[in-house]
Chains A and B, each alone.
Chain A
């Protein structure tokens, strides 16, 4: 009797291992896709959206920092490179990070890396040319997210930080 169940049980174990790995592999893509859709509602692709300071009432992405201002750009390099120009904010920590569709960081540059100067990044996929004056960032997926973090402490400095960050651009060429 039991012998009839041996191969079905083995088949179940193999499918179980497969389902386990498939779930783990799919989770980052699914959650990043959901995040891109949420952020995408704040503005068109390849353009920065400048969010207000995060509160319990307006949080969209899990585990936000209420001390950082977030500016986001959903990028899509399928039709050409995307150029990211980040305006430096003197006296404040800031960074720009590029997240791919798997949630991995393709690049991150901060005021420490640029020595306080602007960051100029060209997001390109294989075969696309890098415009002069831009640092290339190779991305393995067409879509992803550009995120600028700027430390806003004390909170009263937000208006001046906000005015500067709005000079940053994200655009397709």
Chain B
């Protein structure tokens, strides 16, 4: 085999492999792998010049136009509190208490971050939609079928994620998101 054939084959494989690895990494989810808190994951450098090349690319794909942490934090859960992938054919109870910020909402997405079509035309649960008990606790149901009380439709998609937005988070939460009090996601029955 001629020398330039060998170079051509190796360089072509290198280009394809390098690009493929990068695409695979970028498609690996919104978190940058630095901060986990129960089922939730987040990064500390979204939207800033401090973000790594990989984090910036991931956010561009799965959370374009994200705000920096002082304005809003984005916690994404792809699994329940027992570590099982979120499945739109199952029911879940999301249960939390007072969150350390000015306002919050939980939104359900499929794929890289798209709202799921559903008959109820409901895609999120904002703080104002839940009933808060005397201890500050609240809960809502995520389900493929209509439920009594506050519920979030899954559209029966096989895979989804939840994004918790926390606007104007406290300084403590910005500095130590891994220690913030965040909701649990408990799986119930599946269809």
Contacts and interface: CB of A to CB of B under 8 A. Distances in A.
B115 A54 contact: yes
B14 A62 contact: no
Given A93-B102, A103-B47, A153-B128, A28 B67 contact: no
Given A24-B54, A32-B60, 13 more contacts: A8-B10, A12-B12, A12-B14, A15-B15, A17-B18, A19-B15, A20-B18, A56-B115, A56-B117, A59-B115, A61-B64, A97-B65, A103-B64
A54 B113 CA distance: 13
The bracket for how many chain B residues form the interface is 35 or more
A62 B64 contact: yes
B64 A13 contact: no
Interface of B: 3, 6-7, 9-19, 21-23, 25-26, 30, 47-49, 51, 53-54, 56-57, 59-68, 71, 102-103, 105, 107, 109, 112-118, 121, 123-124, 126-129, 163, 165, 167-168
A49 to B, nearest CB: 14
B19 A104 contact: no
B10 A12 contact: yes
A15 B64 contact: no
A110 B7 CA distance: 55
A16 B15 contact: yes
Contacts of B107: 63, 65-67
B3 A104 contact: no
B57 A24 contact: yes
A110 B60 CA distance: 22
Interface in A56-77: 56-57, 59, 61-67
Q: How large is the interface on A (under 10, 10 to 19, 20 to 34, 35 or more residues)?
A: 35 or more
A108 B65 CA distance: 11
Contacts of A89: none
Most buried by B among A7, A14, A23, A25: A23
29 contacts: A5-B6, A5-B10, A8-B3, A8-B10, A11-B7, A11-B11, A12-B11, A19-B14, A20-B18, A21-B18, A21-B53, A23-B19, A23-B57, A27-B61, A28-B56, A55-B121, A56-B114, A56-B115, A57-B117, A63-B62, A63-B113, A63-B114, A66-B115, A67-B107, A93-B167, A99-B47, A103-B47, A110-B71, A151-B167
